[in-house]
Amino acid sequence: QVQLVESGGGLVQPGGSLRLSCAASGMIISFYVMGWYRQAPGKQRELVATITGGGNTNYADSVKGRFTISRDIAKNTVYLQMNSLKPEDTAVYYCNTKYRNVQIWGQGTQVTVSS
């Protein structure tokens, strides 16, 4: 069974950094597109970043230059390094992949950016 488990969320001050992890099981991340999404209160869930099986990355305009998606194939884990955090980055962050035509989601991890 495919499972995605996020971790690394928490409370951080504006301008600070946080690294989120997405540990995958039941599938090999290098064979699929992996993504990070977020959902803030009162807003739609939005795509933050993706990484393809070949390692190509894409980012939402709002996070370009601040966030980096990466992976450790040996650990079968995807990361989201978040720098220069802003209060508007506050959201629940979700890991995602499409496996055999089905969207798979993690449980989410809360990121709160506040002084």
User: 58: exposed, middle or buried (C-beta count within 10 Å: 0-12, 13-18, 19+)?
Assistant: middle
Q: How far lies 8's CA from each of 31, 57, 64, 93, in Å?
A: 24, 21, 20, 10
| C-alpha to C-alpha distance for 91 and 110, rounded to whole angstroms | 6
CA distance 2 to 25: 6
pLDDT class of 55 with cuts at 50, 70, 90: very high
Q: Report d(CA 45, CA 42) in Å as an integer.
A: 10
Q: What is the pLDDT of residues 70-109, one digit of tens each?
A: 999 999 999 999 999 999 999 999 999 999 999 999 999 9
6-32, pLDDT tens digit by residue? 999 999 999 999 999 999 999 999 999
**Strand 77-82 to strand 67-72: parallel, antiparallel, or no bridges (unpaired)?**
antiparallel
Q: Provide, rounded to the nearest whole percent, the portion of the chain with pLDDT above 90.
A: 100
